[in-house]
Amino acid sequence: MTALMYAIKLAKEHQAQATAVYVVNTKALSDLVKSGIFVAVERDEYQRDLYEDADRYLRHAQHLADEKGVEIDTVKLEGSVHVVVKELVKSLGADLLILGGVSDIRSRRDELASETDRMMRTAPCPVLVVREDDDIWDEFER
Amino acid sequence: MNVLEALEKDLIKVPLESSEKYAIIRELVEVAAQVKGYDGDALLDAILARERLGSTGIGNGIAIPHAKSDAVDKVTMVIGVSKIPVDFESIDNQKARIFFLVIAPSKEASAHVELLASIARSCSSGIFRRMLEQAKDADEVIQLFME
């Protein structure tokens, strides 16, 4: 959420067009079925839940942008997160990708599997990583 | 959410005392209920309902009993390691020694899916699984995940 706030502030300051994207990670769901953790009926149920999460998040993004008078497009995608984000950035010709959800890397295994890390490495444009920071929330509220 | 973000020392039990599938599930649920103050019966009902759809013994000596339940307020993971291989009706018919109990509130579907995927990734290495099976206490389990 911090990255979203930061993006809206930045878009306002630069009079830029912002796009909020939520990727339903259907790749992870398929992997869970393949590895035997999920049964098919369970995958379908979780997929519905994830779509509802996406709608909630994007509604909130629209609400925050409206609050600041920033024009925002909302996009809901599905697939492998870093792959579809890369394709979207290309198709939009975006100048900047703003990412959040960065946690401290505490093991090598984390680093290799982190979707944020993959997006940073594969994005076809400059990337801005926003850490969770109370100051950004405070600044947004002002 | 990944394994390290869900990992809590108090939610790791090594070794487990039970030697039968449903006793193991109850033992793991009890850890969550005692440490977090959750309603153990509600958790057990949710886990058993999921288990009725098919065993969560995913093979290679791993079982990941899991469920959605609003009896928890955040995604909760209990890890247990058994000294004795336990018949968990796993898909490869191998007995299991490593158990991850994962329970998540319904509003945290995304974190729940991410955590399950993270567990699967972590346990895809045979060497890692063997080291986990040899862990003597919670500290050793944590250390292994942090490497």
Question: Any idea which of A5-14, A103-112, B113-122 has the lowest mean pLDDT?
Answer: A103-112
| HSE-up of residue A130 (Cα within 13 Å, Cβ side) | 21
Distance CA B33, CA A142 (A): 42
Check CB contact under 8 Å for B118 and A32.
Answer: no
Distance CA B109, CA B48 (A): 19
- Only one residue has tokens 């490495």, namely A121
Torsion of Cα atoms, A5 then A8 then A14 then A18, to 10°:
140
Of B5, B53, B121, the CB nearest to A42: B53
The pLDDT tens digits for B69-83 are 999 999 999 999 999
Distance CA B25, CA A45 (A): 23
| pLDDT over 90 at A110, yes or no | no
CATH of the domain at B34: 3.40.930.10
> What mean pLDDT, rounded, does chain A reach?
87
Q: Is the pLDDT higher at A104 or at A1?
A: A1
Total domains in chain B come to 1
ipTM: 0.84
| pLDDT over 60 at A141, yes or no | yes
Alpha helix (H) residue ranges in chain B? 3-6, 21-36, 40-53, 109-122, 126-134, 138-146
Q: Is B145 on the interface with A (CB under 8 A)?
A: yes
Q: Is A31 on the interface with B (CB under 8 A)?
A: yes
Smallest CA–CA distance from A108 into chain B, residue: B147
Distance CA B136, CA B140 (A): 6
The pLDDT tens digits for B130-144 are 999 999 999 999 999
> What mean pLDDT, rounded, does chain B reach?
93
| CB pairs < 8 Å spanning A and B | 61
| pLDDT over 60 at A105, yes or no | no
One-letter identity of residue B131: M
Q: Is A80 on the interface with B (CB under 8 A)?
A: no
Query: Domain A2-141 sits in which CATH superfamily?
Result: HUPs (3.40.50.620)
Give the residue numbers spanning the domain of B135.
3-146
Domain ranges of chain A: 2-141
Position A103 confidence tier, pLDDT thresholds 50, 70, 90: low
Interface test mutation site (partner A, options B88, B89, B110, B122, max chain A beta carbons within 10 A): B110
The pLDDT tens digits for A35-45 are 899 999 999 99
- Residue A25: how many other CB atoms lie within 10 Å: 21
What Rg, from alpha-carbon coordinates, does chain A have? 16
- Residue A15: how many other CB atoms lie within 10 Å: 8
What confidence score (pLDDT) does residue A104 get? 56
- Residue B146: how many other CB atoms lie within 10 Å: 14
Of A25, A52, A113, the CB nearest to B121: A113
Instruction: Report whether the peptide linkage leading into residue A124 is cis, meaning its omega lies within 30 degrees of zero.
Output: no
The pLDDT tens digits for B36-76 are 999 999 999 999 999 999 999 999 999 999 999 999 999 99
Q: Is A125 on the interface with B (CB under 8 A)?
A: no
Beta bridge partners of B79: B12, B100
pTM of this prediction exceeds 0.90:
no
